Structure 1
Amino acid sequence: MVKPFDTWDGVYQVVSGYTGGHMDNPSYEAVKSGESGHYEAVQISYDPKKIDYQTILDLYWPQIDPTDAGGQFHDRGPQYRTAVFYHDDEQKKQAEEAKAKLINSQLFKSPIVTDILPASRFYPAEDYHQNYYQTHAEDYQKDREKSGRDVFIQTHWKK
C-alpha cells in the first residue's frame, strides 16, 4: 500500500508497519502469524495544505477489496483485513462518510466490511519491508500479479 500514496505531492513519507494489536514492538513474524493482533498498515505523513485527508481516502478505497473480511487477495488472515484508521473526530467523520458513499454506490453486491477504527500505536516494520515496491521491484510486481489485485482493481474500480 506504499506505492499508491508515495508519489503524491504533499505526501512526505509512507511507512509500512503494524497497528491495532496487543504486543509491544511486534515482529513481522508475530504479525504474520496473527499472534500479535496487529493489522499490517501504512502510516502516511502529509502536508494538509497540499493534499487533504479526503484525497487520501479517495486514493485508498480503489486499492482494496472492501468486501473481503478474511484478508486481501492472497494474503489471508485478520492481519490483512482492511481498515481506515483515524486520528481525530473530523477524520472519523470523513472516513465514515466515504464508506457510506461506497455502500450507497452499490458498486459491490457484497457488504462493505472495511472497519473505521481509532488510530493506535504504530510500529514501523523492519527495514526490508520499507519501500519494497522500489527496493524489490521485480518481486513486488510478481506478487501483485499472483495476488489478483490488479485484475480485481481493473474489474471493480475502473468502471
Structure 2
Amino acid sequence: MFRCKTVILALLLVGTMLSFSTQASAETKATAVFAGGCFWCMQPAFDKVPGVLDTVVGYTGGTTANPTYEQVGTGTTGHFEAIKVEYDPEKVTYKTLLDVFWHNIDPFDTKGQFCDVGSTYRSAIFYENPSQEKLAIASKKEVEQRFKQSAATKILKANQFWAAEDYHQDYYTKNPVRYKFYRYRCGRDARLKDVWGSEYQHAK
C-alpha cells in the first residue's frame, strides 16, 4: 500500500511539473502580424532576427474564409498579403519587430508596395492586444515625425490569419534565383535605400 501511494504521488508530481513546463513554454511565445507588400520579401527579413521562432506567410484582414492566392489576387476578398511572426518575447521585443517592419517597407506608398499595386499589397500592422496597438501607433508617429509626412501604413485589429499555400512558404529559399530576380525587378531594395539610407540592410 505504501509503495502504491509513493508511485501515485510521484506521478502527480511529474504531471504538475509537465503542466508548469508547458505553461512556461507558452508564455515565452508571442505572435506579431504585418503586411508589407509581397509576403515573399518580408519573410527573410524576419527570419534572420534573433528570437524569432518561426514565420508563416498568408492572408489576413479580409472576410473570405480560407482564401486562395488566386482569390486574394482579385482584390475582392479584402485580404492583405501578410506574415505572422512567432517570437520569444524574452529574446526580442515587439518594438524591435516593428523596427524591422518599418525598415522593410515604403511607409508612404498609398497604392501598394514597390512594383506591386493594389489593395492586396497595402502595408499594415495588425495588433493583437492593447500593448501592441499602443506600440504600433507610437512607432508610426515616430516615422511621420522623422520624415515630416503622413504614413500610408494602416494599424488594424488582428483577425483570422490564413496560411498561404505551401509553395509560398520560404519561397526565397526554395526558389532563390527566381526570388532574387523578382526582388530586383520590383525595385524593392533600391526604394528602401532611398527611404532609409544607411539604416537599411536588406535581406535577400
Structure 1 residue 118 corresponds to structure 2 residue 165: no
> What amino acid sits opposite 2:169 in the alignment?
Q
**Unaligned residue ranges in structure 2 (runs of 5+):** 1-41, 199-204
Correspondences of 1:133-152 after superposition (within 5 Å): 133-152=172-191
TM-score (norm 1): 0.96
Q: RMSD across aligned C-alpha pairs, in angstroms? A: 1.0
Counterpart secondary structure, 1:146: helix
Q: Which residue of 51, 54, 59 corresponds with 1:13?
A: 54
> What do the CA deviations read for 1:90-145 (whole angstroms, capped 9, x no partner)?
00000000000000002xx6531100111110000000000011111111100110
> What amino acid sits opposite 1:139 in the alignment?
R
> What do the CA deviations read for 1:18-75 (whole angstroms, capped 9, x no partner)?
0011100000000111121100000000000001100000000011111111111111
Partner of residue 55, structure 1: 96
Partner of residue 67, structure 1: 108
Runs of 4+ residues over 6 Å off in structure 1: none
- Distance in structure 2 (CA, Å) of the matches to 1:99 and 1:24: 30
- Distance in structure 1 (CA, Å) of the matches to 2:107 and 2:181: 23
**% identical equivalent positions:** 43
Q: Find the structure with the greater CA-based Rg.
A: 2
TM-score (norm 2): 0.75
- Distance in structure 1 (CA, Å) of the matches to 2:197 and 2:56: 27
Partner of residue 82, structure 2: 41
> What amino acid sits opposite 1:145 in the alignment?
Y
- Distance in structure 2 (CA, Å) of the matches to 1:75 and 1:143: 11
**Unaligned residue ranges in structure 1 (runs of 5+):** none
Which has the larger displacement, 14-23 or 109-118? 109-118
- Distance in structure 2 (CA, Å) of the matches to 1:96 and 1:110: 15
Counterpart secondary structure, 1:2: helix
> What amino acid sits opposite 1:47 in the alignment?
D
How far did 1:88 drift?
0.4
> Number of residue pairs matched?
157
Structure with bigger helix share is 2
